[in-house]
Structure 1
Amino acid sequence: MTIVRRAATADAEVLARLLWDFNTEFETEVDDVDVLTGRFTRLLGLDEVVAVLAEDDRAAVGFALVVLRPAIWFDGPVAQLDELYVVPHLRDRGIGTQVLDLCRGLAAEQGAPEMHINVDEVDADTRRFYERHGFVNVEDGTDYRMLCYVGPTSAS
């Protein structure tokens, strides 16, 4: 049985290991677990950061990280889902849905009316997962896709 709960600062190392696994699975550059543990420890102490942990038989099997930021378009914050991961051999068993549902519920409790997620265009499985849960990349009343751009904080 999988238990999905809000993570605490004491879970920082477990979350760091899951994030490391996530990035290495997809051959993405990632810092060492000890560096990630320090970052999770710092972030989990902030009110605007929410982490969710999925555990099965006392082993961590998935997690998510949500950051809440102020918004000008409504009174509550915007929830940004930065990470959501389920270990490969347990995918397609509803764990990701449980994790996402708890993230959405916790964000709603903080007054966030919407959640943003960035997904690589080539990641068809992940896009289908979020679309199945009501996420879109074309807003009502428009006929064009939303895009996310990444750039340096200093001008070149």
Structure 2
Amino acid sequence: MTSDVPGADVRQATAADAPTVGRLLHDFNTEFDTPTPSAQDFAARFGELLGRGDVLVLLADHGDEAVGMAYLTLRPTPYGQGPLAELEELYVVPKLRGQGIGSALITAALERVRARDAIEMRINVDEIDTDARRFYERHGFASTVPGTGSRMLCYLRELEEGRPMPGTPPGPTGYPGHNDA
């Protein structure tokens, strides 16, 4: 799939892309001072994940370099015949932000999950991340329950203390990689 961004192509990642996906996710976490596994640990994990039918990773290539990624999971839901899609991570390297690569990734992600008959896509965004909130709102996402105006919240609880991914110390909430209280 080719995006509308000059010089940027969006494609589905394969197991061979695991090191690239690992590097991008590590760079994302490092940029925002989030405790993170190493790029190699992420690469090993994505080597496993990319072969699953319920995981979708898209890469945005600019020339010969991957400069952005979208990582999605799909799960069954009783509210429809298709799955629920969750955008776990979306990242574009800082030097190329504002050029439509994030929009190309989210558009491609929506197209791909629609093709899998997903009934909705969810995204969790930190409240203080106003840039991300504006980005997702521009692309049709809302932080309120449709038709009610009731605000949606996300809660997390660590289930197994001391079992973060290798190389990741738990954040203050105990959830690896999350620093929000």
For this structure pair, what is the TM-score category when the shorter chain's length is used for normalisation?
over 0.9
Kindly state the Cα deviation for residue 89 of structure 1 after the two structures are TM-superposed. Answer: 1.1
Q: Which residue of 2 aligns with 1:54?
A: 60
Amino acid at match of 1:108: R
Q: Deviations over 1:103-149 (max 9, x none)?
A: 11111111102100000000000000000000001122223210000
Matching residue of 1:25? 31
Match 1:125 to one of 122, 131, 152: 131
Distance 1:154 1:8 in 2: 30
1:12 maps onto 2:14 in alignment: no
| C-alpha separation in 2, matches of 1:64 and 1:119 | 14
Correspondence for 2:88 among 82, 93, 102? 82
Partners of 2:132 and 2:152 in 1: CA distance: 16
| Percentage identity across paired residues of the two chains | 46
Q: Which runs of structure 2 are paired with 1:141-152 in the superposition (5 Å)?
A: 141-152=147-158
**Residue 56 (structure 1) shift:** 0.6
From 114, 120, 130, the equivalent of 1:114 is 120
TM-score (norm: length of structure 2): 0.83
Q: Distance in 2 between matches of 1:71 and 1:15?
A: 27
Distance 2:30 2:160 in 1: 29
More helix by share: 1
Following superposition, which runs of at least 4 residues in structure 1 exceed 6 angstroms of deviation? none
- Partner Cα distance (2:123, 2:93) in 1: 19
Q: How much does 1:37 deviate?
A: 0.5
Specify whether residues 140 and 56 from structure 1 end up closer, same or farther in structure 2 by C-alpha distance, changes over 3 A only. same
Output the amino acid matched with 2:33.
Answer: E
RMSD: 1.2
Q: Deviations 1:38-65 (Å, cap 9, x if unpaired)?
A: 1101000100100000011101110010
1:154 to partner: Cα distance: 5.7
Distance in 2 between residues matched to 1:143 and 1:64, nearest whole Å: 28
- Aligned-partner Cα distance in 2 for 1:24–1:152: 22
Aligned residues: 155
